[in-house]
Structure 1
Amino acid sequence: MRFSSRSAQQLALAAGLLGFASLTACNKDGGDYAKTKSGIEYKIFKKVGNGYERREIGPDGDPTYKDRVGKFLLGNMRYTTGKDSVLQNTRRDVGLPVPLPLQELKQKGAPDEALSLLQPGDSGVFRFQVDSLIKPKSGQPVPPFLRRGGNVVMMYVATTPKLITQEEAQAMQPELQKRAMAAQMKQRMASPEYAKQMQEQKDAQAKAMAAPEVVAQLKSDDAVLQDYIKKNNLTVKKTPSGIYYQVLKAGTGATPKAGQTVSVNYNGTLLSGKQFDSSEKTGKPIEFPIGQGAVIPGWDEGIALLNKGTRAILLIPSPLAYGARGAGADIPANAPLKFEVELVDVQ
């Protein structure tokens, strides 16, 4: 959903795929809503000991807000419809407090004004009429699910006692984005459409691997790989698909599951020893969701065999690498490949 103010849009983005029982209890037990001049209904609570007490705010807002402009609250947020259907929830989907921007109020009645009422450590419940967030003149229709949800959007916020700077907020973004992407992947994997897509992908790969020319290439590559293994005195295991692997240093972490994002250091060479790629070129591990077709099939299968922290050699027949098409000028057609890999992290 898109709010009418740009800062409100930024707020929703910062929160990721946006609860918490304490605020729900406050909402039920905190008495009537107060109301800003712009029409936001709210209840603000400050923490006292192990509980919360209602904090009153004057009709002109919090006079101390000017001292917080340009900084960020840290907080967990939840948006729901008026009938409690969850729209966004940072605690569930990001797992840590997110930076909430405190900006000059150029437009009243939106979530950025609601945040201006909160002091660090406060919690709040805010109720917006949908028509005040999505202006009729904007040309954007109100989504039917919001109409059905009571034409109301609820915003619950629980903040920490700490304000942070813009630099500190920016430093948090890589971790927040990583967590949000993991949550999106988890949600996607739970859908029937995903299961169908993955099955179709497996069926297509199995059909391709059963083609006579591919079967013949696998047999030819296997002879080449066995000769390489013998000449280099490797101690390997073989998977049913034809991948050979040798663990150089065993890790102690978990093995990755489909959909999890892994970080891998690697050095890729032809069997001749000619390097064609390496993570050293970028100075950091490559990251990708495993089992999603984001890398060659030999990596999706081979990396999934390793524990976090493991260093290993993967010998991959060409049909599970770049096949008859090769890759650029460095990887010829039908080339078996060798990778030295290290599974650095599993997220």
Structure 2
Amino acid sequence: MLSKTKFLLPVVAGALLLQGCDKNKDQFYTTADGLTYKIYEQTEDGEYENKGEVAPADSTGAKIGQVVTMQMSYQNAEDSVLFDSRTQKQPVMIPVMEPTFKGSLEQALMMLSPGDSGVFKVNADSLFAKTFAQPMPPFIKPGSQLTFFIKAEKVQSKEEAMVDQQKMMEQQMKDAQAHAAEQIKIDDQKIQEYIKENNLENVQKTESGVYYVVQEPGKGPQAATGDLVSVHYKLSFLDGKEVENSRSNPMGNGEPFQFPLGQGRVIKGWDDAIQQLKEGSKATLLVPSTLAYGEQDRGPDMPANSILRFDVELVDVEKQQ
């Protein structure tokens, strides 16, 4: 979480930061290295005002080796928001490193003190080539700039940041558990309604909460934790919309999906439900969102809190020593 790779995150929608900035002092400045910026500091009455031009010798910002905890969003030249930490429900923690190029994001962090908010324009080509060390995605035009909106909450030593990070993770886990406890009740009710509406018979339920119906019992060995299993599947939502099918998936060449069972390599609902089947079984699994992808919004093809239906065939069970 404290590595550079934290910069590059999935594309999500979100509101921009800094909406409370003083619009009457909305002037940008540019450093000698080519970093375009405007930085706001909070006044005694709680308002934000433009700090103006930052002197090259100013050393009040974050130092190399320190970690900045911040709320951050950034957008491309078409003003499409590519990331917003507020939608992730946790701030971003980024270590301050030696600048990778002139006008870099590292330089931007070194201009911020705790409580400051800043808007920075960074060359996209250099950012991806030298900071991210990754190819530039097609939705970012060569030669364009990315605009970063940053609210610096803390500037700490690496040791202090690691302590805060641990506390943050513990709180996040508690919040997730509380949400899951409520969400599984909601999902369970929806699944029961779906079963009734679709006249599903011989429905069974695992201890964790996955409903399943075995259409064709298998005659092979029972799947168990540690087995290497191969499964054909069709994934759909409860409204019938198909999302994925292993038999028509070009990435898998139409082959069944193979994985070690009970090792956390798949969603929890699969690790649980596949163990209820014997080799050769065909079944329908109704997986609550808390045992699938939970609160994760994986784009339009997989919204947050999605209940999933899998029509599966357990093709092979390979027992492991």
The two structures have a TM-score, normalised by structure 1, of: 0.47
Considering only CA atoms, is the larger Rg found in Structure 1 or Structure 2? 1
Question: Which structure is higher in helix share?
Answer: 1
